[in-house]
Amino acid sequence: MKMFHLLKFGLLLNLITGCAYFTRDQEPANFKIIDAHIHTHFSGDRDEDSGVLDSEASLLDEMKANNVVGAVAHTNRTQSDYKDLKKHNIIHCYGSGAKPDIRKLDIDLKNNKYGCIKIYLGYVRQYPNDPHYLPLYKLAEKYNVPVVFHTGDTYAKDALLKYAEPLSIDEVAVTYPNINFVIAHLGNPWVETAAEVVYKNSNVYADISAFLIGDLSKRSPADIEEYVVKPIRWTFHFCENPKKLMFGTDWSLTHMKPYIEAVKKAIPREHWNDVFYNNAKMVFKFPDGT
């Protein structure tokens, strides 16, 4: 049975002394953000739900305005949306289809074209332990890059949710203990299941992107509290490890600023630096100086 040990975080001490908390409007010194989940389609159009202009200039403007100093771009399954943005501290994940081109990916990882591998559970009707994915894990181990899984709700109606349920990630996490795995979207709406996989496995992390998408200014504070703040807050304390969650938005499906503000409400201030920056820097191996 899982037991909660508040002393792991020093939370009990903080509650008594107040010494590690910040004032309501204060951010930690030198507060920087890495967005661990964006997309770079750059269609030039505005997203019909969020109103975000899907362009490189718009992305860079939002990053600068919110002190987002790096990001992880989740490339689609054909890699048609790949653009080298390393000069902006943007790392790309190779988006795997049902039958990935292992030989080409080996070359691309060697040349640092990609810094991670993305498997689209649900969109691709295969489980994490599918034989077609096993060579991907070998490459991830060879080049020491993380593997990210899409989990939870899908944007496409023809996807199958049974493949996107996060419990099956536990098996590959145990089989490949030297690989860091990331559960994208924290398995939402299977948040408790995803949290348990993260809690149980030292090599599993989660990004907390896209709990709500669209124009969040049109959502009520009650909706944001219920669907973003509460589940992330619960997961943070359940996992008992501030190193396990990473901030992400799923840009351009939502603006960065309102999502940043929502996540701030869910995470204790003394752990903002970890969740918003340090954890993604470590998992995705952003260079020093990012």
Residue 187 has pLDDT above 50, yes or no: yes
13 in a structural domain? no
288 domain residue, yes or no: no
Q: Is there a domain that residue 25 lies in?
A: no
Considering the chain, what is the average pLDDT of its residues? 92
Q: What's the confidence (pLDDT) of residue 18?
A: 38
What CATH number does the domain containing 41 carry? 3.20.20.140
Asked if residue 10 belongs to a domain, the reply is: no
Q: Is residue 1 part of a domain?
A: no
Q: What is the pLDDT of residues 38-61, one digit of tens each?
A: 999 999 999 999 999 999 999 999
Instruction: Provide mean pLDDT across the span 15-19.
Output: 35
Give the mean pLDDT of 66-73. 98
pLDDT at 26: 67
CA gap 154, 272 in Å, rounded? 28
Residue 289 in domain: no
Lowest mean pLDDT: which of 5-9, 115-119, 159-163, 285-289?
A: 5-9
Residue 118 lies in a domain: yes
pLDDT at 3 over 80: no
- Asked if the peptide bond before residue 252 counts as cis, ω within 30 degrees of 0, the response is yes
Which residues, listed in sequence order, are joined to residue 47 by a DSSP beta bridge? none
Return the higher-pLDDT residue of 7 and 203: 203
* Pick from 31, 34, 57: nearest CA to 44: 57
What digits encode the pLDDT tens for the residues 76-135?
999 999 999 999 999 999 999 999 999 999 999 999 999 999 999 999 999 999 999 999
Q: How many distinct structural domains can be found in the chain?
A: 1
pLDDT digits (tens, 9 = 90+) for 214-258: 999 999 999 999 999 999 999 999 999 999 999 999 999 999 999
pLDDT score at 144? 98
**Tens of pLDDT, residues 135-177:** 999 999 999 999 999 999 998 999 999 999 999 999 999 999 9
* 145: containing domain: 32-283
Q: Is the pLDDT of residue 27 over 60?
A: yes
Q: Does the residue 105 lie in any domain?
A: yes
